[in-house]
Structures are given as structure tokens and as C-alpha cells.
Structure 1
């Protein structure tokens, strides 16, 4: 039987229809895959859209406005302010100081040279804290210099600021603020060498020597391996440390024996004890150092009439350096450079101030209980007869007047006219305890200081390990 093309077409259509009815999903998926993949030439998609080459072409022209140069999304680097700090040096000029601060601004340097306040405060001065604010091209925007006086509780501030009219300067006064620091060290050669190693200011080291001067002879009794811990204040202006303040508490281990002290103010106003730690605005305010058990460390007499010196001749028989005869040396000689300050070892009245035979320039002070002290060979006398003096007050300076082979201080201590060894007097003089009304507050403060000193000592142990 021969099939015509029409019959064949009918048969194929019938077969496809039956297949779709029997497997609709498979046939549909197969057709879709072939159409998407372009596989096989049995299927074609007729395009009924017009040919793109036959479409009309139209030209459109529109004006576009240019963006401003200072558009907010400018990708250039943003400007910023730089802050730098320095400390003035005695050799500073306007150019060298600004250069260390990273400032490259001839106009600013010219202003510092020309302005009387800036020149006087910044140039040739040592140790003044300076902060500069600069633009990103190292031009000066603002400069602040800070310094403080010794005891008024305030600091001074010089401000140089750039304005629309040029640079301007002004001076201001502001209160100091105090922060607490802990430090510790070990004696290898001397107290000052040890405090230098521990980065403790010299003024704090001097205070420590003063505090324990009645118990420790810092001229002769220090030993290698002696230890100390200190809690002290730093006085700051605008957050910058300007100078050291007062020692709050201290511990010194000398020859295996431990000495402790803390600052305490013990006035009683209306029956209420007032405690003022070293955060006192005025370091001259009344107060004193006590052991942590409540005994005052302020004795009637200091151990030495000078802060630091060396004993060159003690209270003993000796060959007189000028008379060349063996005779009793009825005082103590302290070797020190000419001009070294000499201080009163106790409260008293000036009984004599002038020249007296081999003593040269001499001051004699009268104290209570028929006690007298004598200070000889002075280069300068700072007091007059009849004047009242307080313990630690400067009364003159070391010299070589009278019978002296070199600059030194000859110091005597007399009780009812009889000479006594000055090196033993301070240890034998009495001290005063904390008043009963202040004891509860003192006990609380003493407990806090014990913990602070323990923390200071542990810092050194940690750094050693």
C-alpha cells in the first residue's frame, strides 16, 4: 500500500497527538529545550518584527549643564588638623621651636619673633609645655604654651591664634589639676641616681629626703639595696603635666628597717577634723607627715641644716686645719659649694647675725629649752637679729669666711651653753601624734595609703621580673 504525502502527514500528526496525550510533560520539556538551545533544525521561530535596518533613524540633541567645581562629592583629599606637643629649650628660637613642632609657616615665625609676650615666654625658656594645632599643609592655626608658679595652685597659658586679621596672642590663668602617680626604686649609689632611674622628679626625691630626715641620715646611712616606694601627685594644666606636687605617702627600707609616712592635715574646725591630701591647691597649706600609725614625723629639729651635702668633719677630737693643734671639734662640718642654701633646723629667733672672729659670717639661733644652733663661714646672711625663723627657712648660704680652708658650713648645737653632737639631736627630739578627734579619718586614709604603697612596690617587682 502506497501512502500519499497527505496520508503521511495525517499519520504523523496523529502520532504526535497521541504522544502528547500520553506523555504531555516530557514532550513539552523536550520542545522547550530544543527551542532554547537552538539544537536541531526541525524547529524554527519565525520573527514577525520589521527588519531593524529598515526602521527610520531620528537624531536628538539636548544641552547638558556642567557640574560645579566645588561639588560636594569632590574626590580631592579632605583637609584636617594636626596636633603636636613639645617642651621648650633654653636654645630655642622662633624657627627651631616651630620646626620641632612640625610647623612650616614663615608668618607664624615672624609673629613669634615680633610679639613681646611670645618672645618673652617661649624663647630662651626651659621646660615649658607647648602644643600646636596645624593645618594639613603645616601652617600654624593655634599654639598654646603652659607654665606654673611654685605654689599658687594655678598655671599660666599663652595662646597664639590665627585670625582673619592675622596672628594674635593672649595670656590666661587657669587652675591646676592633680593626678596621682606611683613609683619605686632601689639604691645602687645615691638617692638621686635611683630616683633618676625610676624617672621620679628631683623635687619628689628632695621631699622624700626631708620626710625621713629625722630617721635616716641620707649623707652617711644609705646602703646599696635600700628600697623605696612613693605615691605622689603631678600637677597638670590642660591635661599636660607641668610640675610635681606633694608626696602623698612614702616607704623607705634602710638597712632592713622600714620607715613609712603619709601626708595628713590635722586642723580641727568646730570639732570636725579636716583632712586635705596632696590635692591641696596651695602647697603651703598647713599639714604634715605622719607614720601610718599616727605619729608625726615633724620633729623639733631637722637632721641637717642643708638638703644635700657631705659631712667632712664630725663631732670629735681632730687636728685643726689652720692652727695645726689637736683640739675638740665641737660641731659638724658639711662640705658644699659656695652659695648652697643653709636652713634653720628648728623654729627660733635670731640671737646674732654678723661677723664673729674665726666663724666669719655667722648666724646664731635661739630655740626653746635653752637650745641654740650656730651656722658659720657663711657667704651670705639672709636674716637679722631679733627676727623669728621657722624650721627649714633659708638663713644664709655656704661660704669660706673666717678661718676656713674652703667652702663649707660649720654647724653647732648647744644645750644650756654645752656643745652636743648635732647628728644625734634630731633623733632625740620629740614628735606629736594625731589628735584624738582626727584618728578615725586618719585610720581610713592610712589604710588607703598602705594599699597604694603596696601597689607601687609591686610595680618595681613586676618590672624586675
Structure 2
């Protein structure tokens, strides 16, 4: 298929070059073809409609010559075709490799990207900036006419509201570069899919950004164990905010929209949630009955991981003995952010024997959570933390055979199963004064969810 596409591209390039070199000849050919088409047009008719009954038939032939055809063909021969290509910047990009990937063959543009103070910032900073190049259509790549680059705002205070647009444009006086800070816009989008292999494969099929996938997992964290319970046949639908730059969804971190509503079907169970904010309170997700989905404690301090050792007896890999494992081990890559599962205060942040780098957080009701084997610690003793705050990163310090997080939940000093505590913990409920407003909003969001299921994006499977 790639060979066919390359051959077609070469044929088109050759045809374009021929037109540019012989515009008069091309005009004459077009005129002749259209004239002959006019002569023969009257002789075409479907055979199925021909009546076999003998009739007196008179054939009339008339030459048709469209007016202004020569002038139009002449203008077509002189028309300059432009090509548009899009891509993302990469960490290994240089001015030459970036332009070559965009189909640009222009030494002047390469030199400009290396020397101009504004244009040089295109290749600085984090990769993932969005590119759109406009070039002339010529064999082997054309001269750069315009390059538009969109990336994060230059000011950290505006990362969630603005983006940087750099425009390199060819003028009568040469290439120029302009950098602007432009407000992002919020669009409402939806996606739906059925899991056939993994959750991430399904969300990729639904064209959902990774941060939206993470929010969906957090939203239903106390209903479904996304680390081990997801199976083929499970399905979902979401309505979410998409931050856009000039109409294109942003691809860099920091500018993230929110999931507004979600529906997850796990086996025979259906779970739904809607984002809602009461006046003067922090917004959160509620079931369609107005019960808060956010428990006092999250089920896991890691967004996605696998349980490598549960709350049970196990053979200790270092001590080589059978003993009770009074916590859970969560396998994850080195450096994965670790979040506190509930509001509280840091009781300890430092090193403790086999735990290595460890953080211990005190919660209300005599409860504590323990996060061990961290590669780094991001909080200090005595600091207040809120649910979801990053307190460190996955590591392999202390008695650890590989990168993972050891997580414990204690109630009055005794270890208990963290998953059971999270699912049984308290949640909020809407007051009567705001219920009517919530019900109106939830009906609207539910309707959008159903619409995304009936008319999924692209090739998404319909969720029954």
C-alpha cells in the first residue's frame, strides 16, 4: 500500500511539473478534451431504457464550444498549488530534520530557524508542539511559505488558559517570525467504545486524551477496580471538555479539560456519574441519584498499576519466609507519581529501615496511610495534604527487589485491607436546596452520554 501511495505521489509531482513547463500545451489539451465531450454527450443513454420498437430516428450532431475555456485553462496552468502538512515536534529535532519531515526543501528556512531569536524557540523546551507547514508543490519538497507552531504558554501562570502561537511567514522582504500568547477555547466532546483488549486501547479508539482516561478511572474508582477487573466486553461513554488551540485539541500537559459525565458498564453493572458543583463548595462527581462518587479515601494511590502482592500471607522475597503481608504492593515504573488517598497531615517523611523512603499521613478518626519504597519525597512533616496530592514517586528504596509502591492503611494502629476501607468510607450527598438544579444538569448530561453511545466517534463500537 505504501509503494502504491509513493508511486501516486511521484506521478502527481511529475504531472504538476509538466503543467508548469508546458502551460500552453496543457491548455490546448484541456480545450480539446472538453470540446469532444460536448460533441459526444448527446449520444450517451442507459441501454436498459432503449425501446426495441422500430422508430424513425434522426441524428443531429452539433459542435459545442464552451466560452472562455482557453482563458480558464491558461489560468489553471499558471495556478500555484500549495501543500499543507501537520506534525509534532520531537526531542531529537533539528531545524533540518523538522523541515524535512514537513516536506520542506529550503536552506533559507533552515538557517532562519537556527538564527532568528523567535524562530529558535520552536525547537526549545518540551517536545510535542503542534506544527503546520505550508509549502509550494514541487518534486522533492517545496519552499516554505508559512509555518505555524502551537505550544504551551510562555508564562507558567497562564498554562491552563493560553497557548503560544509562533508564525513563520514568507513575505516580499524574506522570512519573518511572530510569537503571540492566545487564549485557549473549551469545546465539549464525547467518546464511547467497548473494551476488546485493554482499557487504553479502547480509549485510544475513542480518541480520548490520556488525562481524560485517568479522570474516568478516578471517577469510578470505588465502583470498578481498573487495575485488575477490566475485561473484554466492558464498555464506556464520556462527555468531556477539550482545551483547543485554533480549533485543535492541545497535546501538551497542563492544559487539561474535565470529564463532565461518564457511563461505565462492567459485566452486568452500570455506573454513571455527573460533575456538579454546589455554590461555595468544591465540585465533585455524583451519581444520577445525587450521591457523591468521591469517597473519603481513594482505593489506590496510583492512577494505573497492577497489584503484585495483596493483603494476605506471602513468601517474602528477601527474608525467604512465609509471613503476613499487611498492605498491598503496586507495581509501576520508577518515578510514577504517588498520590495521597485522603485529606490529612504528614506525620512522617523520611527513611525507615526496610520501608526506605516513606511517607506516613494521619487522617481523621485515628486512621493512617503508609507509602513506602519511594524514589523521592515531595512533602515535609506537618504539612497538610488533600486527596489526590502528589507526595512522592515510585521507587525501590529499602527492602525492595524492584520498583513498586508498598501501601498500608491503619485504623488505630492496626493494618486493614485498603480496598475494603476505601469502598466503605463515607461520601457526600447533595442538599435539598440544590437537588433541582442538579437533576436538570444530570438529565442534560445523560442525554449527551446516550447520544455519544448511539453515534460514536469514527469506528467506535456501539455500546448496548
- Normalised to the residue count of structure 2, the TM-score between the two structures is 0.75
| Residue 87 of structure 2 corresponds to residue 87 of structure 1 | yes
C-alpha distance in 1 between matches for 2:422 and 2:337: 19
| Secondary structure of the structure 2 residue equivalent to 1:363 | strand
Q: 1:132 matched to which residue of 2?
A: 133
Deviation at 1:439, TM superposition (A): 2.1
Residues of 1 paired with 2:299 and 2:338: CA distance?
A: 13
Residue in 1 aligned with 2:404?
408
Aligned-partner SS, 2:453:
helix
Report the CA distance between 1:266 and its aligned residue.
1.9
Larger Rg: 1
Q: Is the CA contact 2:314–2:322 (under 8 Å) kept in the aligned structure 1? A: yes
- Structure 1 residue aligned with 2:219: 211
Structure 1 residue 166, shift from structure 2 partner: 2.5
Asked if the contact 1:361–1:381 (Cα under 8 Å) also holds between the matched residues in 2, the reply is yes
1:235 to 224, 232, 243: 243
1:393 shift after superposition: 1.1
What are the superposed Cα offsets for residues 122-145 of structure 1, whole Å, 9 maximum, x if unpaired? 479643222334467754333221
Contact 2:331 2:404 in 1 (8 A): yes
The CA distance in 2 between the partners of 1:464 and 1:132, in whole Å, is 34
Is the aligned partner of 1:156 residue 2:160?
Answer: no
User: Which position in structure 2 is the counterpart of 1:248?
Assistant: 260
1:147 is aligned to 151
**1:286-342 CA distances to partner (integer Å, 9 max, x unpaired)?**
522121222221111111011111111111222332223332211111122222221
Q: CA RMSD in A?
A: 2.7
Relative to structure 1, is the Cα distance of residues 375 and 124 closer, same or farther in structure 2, using a 3 angstrom cutoff? closer
Which residue of structure 1 lines up, in the alignment, with residue 295 of structure 2?
A: 299
Q: Which residue of 2 aligns with 1:314?
A: 310
Partners in 1 of 2:454 and 2:324 — Cα distance? 49
The aligned counterpart of 2:269 is: 257
Q: 1:358-437 alignment to 2 at 5 Å?
A: 358-437=354-433
Question: Matches of 1:357 and 1:434 in 2, distance apart?
Answer: 45
- Residues 181-196 of structure 1: matches in 2 within 5 Å? 181-196=189-204
Written as runs of structure 1 = structure 2, the 5 A alignment for 1:94-105 is 94-105=95-106
CA distance in 2, matches of 1:254, 1:349: 35
SS of structure 2 residue aligned to 1:296? strand
* C-alpha contact (below 8 Å) 2:192/2:461 kept by paired residues: no
Per the alignment, do residues 358 and 98 of structure 1 end up closer, same or farther by CA in structure 2, a change over 3 Å counting?
closer
Indicate yes or no: 2:114 matched with 1:113: yes
Instruction: Verify: 1:354 aligned to 2:355, yes or no.
Output: no
Could you say if the C-alpha distance between residues 368 and 108 of structure 1 is closer, same or farther in structure 2, counting changes exceeding 3 Å? same
Give secondary structure in 2 for the equivalent of 1:174: strand
Matches within 5 A, 1:26-105: 75=74, 77=77, 82=82, 84-90=84-90, 91-105=92-106
Moved more, 258-267 or 298-307: 258-267
Query: Contact 1:93–1:123 at 8 Å: present in 2 too?
Result: no
The reply to whether residue 340 of structure 1 matches residue 336 of structure 2 is yes
Distance in 1 between the 2:72 and 2:406 partners?
A: 81
Structure 1 length-normalised TM = 0.75
SS in 2 for 1:432: strand
Aligned-partner Cα distance in 2 for 1:435–1:346? 23
Give unmatched runs, 5+ long, in structure 2.
1-70
For residues 354-410 of structure 1, what are the alpha-carbon distances to aligned partners after superposition, in whole Å with 9 as ceiling and x for unaligned? Answer: 111221111100011111001111121111101111111111112222222222211
> Does 2:285 align with 1:289?
yes
CA distance in 2, matches of 1:216, 1:464: 21
| Alignment partner, residue 210 of structure 2 | 202
- Residue 223 (structure 1) aligned with residue 223 (structure 2): no
Aligned residues: 378
Decide whether the 8 Å contact of 2:205 with 2:460 is kept in 1. no
Distance 2:267 2:299 in 1: 18
Q: Which moved more, 1:128-137 or 1:370-379?
A: 128-137
SS in 1 for 2:215: helix
SS of equivalent residue, structure 2 residue 438: helix
